[in-house]
Each structure stands twice: as structure tokens, then as C-alpha cells.
Amino acid sequence: MDSIRIDTGVIHLQINDGPDYIEFNPKDVLFIERFYGLMKSFDEKSQEYRQRSEKIGLEDQAGGDDVLDKVPAGLALLREACEFMRGEIDKVFGAGTSQKLFGDVLALDLFSQFLDAVAPYIQEARVEKIKPYVKSKKKPPIK
């Protein structure tokens, strides 16, 4: 029987040199819609979390007993932010992705590390995708 081979554009990225990997297709319009939705929701939520953090008042204290009273609220906010981000990543990259990437760790910097790692693949695919539709502007020769 004859067969065809179709390059779907799926990228497989190994996680921390281990056996686990994630996969996504940066050329898939549905994936890109979800990814940009993720970026927008992260931006909106980060503003909300920043405002809520200011209300808790941890940043305003130089120390003392007041700070210890506010720590539980601050930790609860951090946990909420991390759990939100994990959920959003799972919506875009598939259920269980956050667990593969981060294990049981809840730390805000992990999310930016992940997004910084996948962004170049997405940017490259988007540039290649629109290149045929964008006329190149040639500079006139220098006289």
C-alpha cells in the first residue's frame, strides 16, 4: 500500500534531560490562539495579584510582628497564583504538562523559565508562517 508522510510541525522538547517531554505545534492556529490567550491571562492576573499583594501589605513592612501576621495571606496568594498558572499551562499544552515540568514545586520563577524556553519556537514558527504574506521592503541602493 502506498502511504504519505505529513509533517504536522509538532515539536518535542525533552524536560531537564530526562525521559519526559512536552510537545506542541507552533504552526497550529488553535495552539497559537490558546498560547496568546495564556499570555493575556497571565498579564491580567499578574496585575490582579500585584494589587492584592499590596493590599496584604507585605512590601510596606520593614520587619516586626506585623509581617508574621501577614505571611499566611501572602503565601496563600502565591499558592493561588502558582496554581492558576499551572492550570493555564495545562489548558494550552495538555493535561499533566505542569506536573511533568515542575513536579510538586510551586515557584513563580518556574513559569517564566518555561515561557522563555518555548517562546523562541513559537516566534520562529510565526515569523515563518507570515513571511510569504509580507512583502519585503528593499532599501534603495546607496548613491
Which pLDDT tens digit goes with each residue over 44-88? 999 999 898 888 875 555 555 566 778 888 899 999 999 999 999
Q: Is residue 38 in a domain?
A: yes
With 70 as the cut, is the pLDDT of residue 142 above it?
no
Q: Is residue 141 in a domain?
A: no
Q: Is residue 70 in a domain?
A: yes
With 90 as the cut, is the pLDDT of residue 125 above it?
no
The boundaries of the domain holding residue 18 are 11-132
Q: Is residue 82 in a domain?
A: yes
Q: How many domains, in total, are found in the chain? A: 1
Q: Is residue 123 in a domain?
A: yes
pLDDT-based confidence at residue 140 (cuts at 50, 70, 90) = low
With 70 as the cut, is the pLDDT of residue 97 above it?
yes
Q: Is residue 104 in a domain?
A: yes
What pLDDT score does 88 carry? Answer: 96
With 80 as the cut, is the pLDDT of residue 128 above it?
no
Kindly report the CA angle at 8 between 2 and 13, in degrees rounded to 5? Answer: 125
Model pTM above 0.85: no
Cα 46 from Cα 53, distance rounded (Å): 10
